[in-house]
Structure 1
Amino acid sequence: MALSVDSILKLPAPKKVALLIVFLLVILGVYWFAFYRPQLERVRRKEAKLNDLIRERNTKRELAKDYEKYKAELKTIKARLKEVMAKLPEKKEIPHLLKSIANIGKASGLDILLFKPKGEERKEFYARVPFELKFLGRYHQIGFFFYSIAKLPRIITAENFTIERPQGRGEKGILQVTCTASTYRYVEAPPPQKKPERGRRRRR
Structure 2
Amino acid sequence: MASTSLNLKFDPNAWAAELADQFRGLNPNEPGQWPWLPKLAAFVGVTVLVLVLGWVFALSDEQAHLDAEVAKEPGLRQDYTAKLAQAVNLPELRKQKSQVEEYVTQLEKQLPGKAEMDALLSDINQAGVGRGLQFELFRPGQVLVKDYYAEQPISLRVSGRYHDIGAFAADVSNLSRIVTLHNLNVLAPTGKEAGSGTLSMEATARTYRYLDTLEVAEQKKLAAKTAGGAKK
* Contact 2:149/2:210 (8 A) holds in 1: yes
The 5 Å alignment of 1:96-175 reads: 96-168=119-191, 169-175=193-199
- 1:70 corresponds to which of 70, 82, 93: 93
> Residue 211 of structure 2 aligns to which amino acid in structure 1?
V
Higher relative contact order (CA 8 A, sep 6+): 1
* 2:232 counterpart of 1:179: no
Q: Kindly state the Cα deviation for residue 62 of structure 1 after the two structures are TM-superposed.
A: 5.6
For structure 2, list consecutive stretches of 5 or more residues without a partner in the other structure: 1-82, 222-232
Amino acid across the alignment from 1:153: S
Q: Secondary structure at the match of 1:154?
A: coil
The alpha-carbon deviation at position 65 of structure 1 amounts to 2.8
Match of 2:110 in 1: 87
Alpha carbons of structure 1 residues 100 and 63: separation in structure 2 relative to 1, 3 Å: closer
Amino acid at match of 2:217: P
Deviates more, 1:80-89 or 1:164-173: 164-173
Paired residues in the alignment total 135
Q: Normalized against structure 2, the TM-score is what?
A: 0.54
One-letter amino acid matched to 2:168: F
| Residue identity (%) | 31
- Tell me the TM-score normalised to structure 1 length: 0.61
Cα shift at 1:114? 0.3
Three-state SS of the structure 1 residue aligned to 2:89 is: helix
- Label 1:67 to 1:139 Cα distance change in 2 as closer, same or farther (>3 A): same
Using the TM superposition, give the Cα deviation of residue 64 of structure 1 relative to its aligned residue in structure 2, in angstroms: 4.5
Q: Which amino acid aligns with 2:201?
A: V
Structure 1's consecutive aligned runs of 4 or more residues displaced over 2 angstroms after TM superposition are 60-66
Distance 1:62 1:82 in 2: 28
Distance apart, 1:88 and its partner CA: 0.3
Offset at residue 148 of structure 1 (A): 1.4
More helix per residue = 2
Deviations 1:30-89 (A, max 9, x none): xxxxxxxxxxxxxxxxxxxxxxxxxxxxxx996553221220121111011011100000
**RMSD of aligned C-alpha atoms?**
2.2
CA separation in 2, counterparts of 1:163 and 1:148?
A: 17
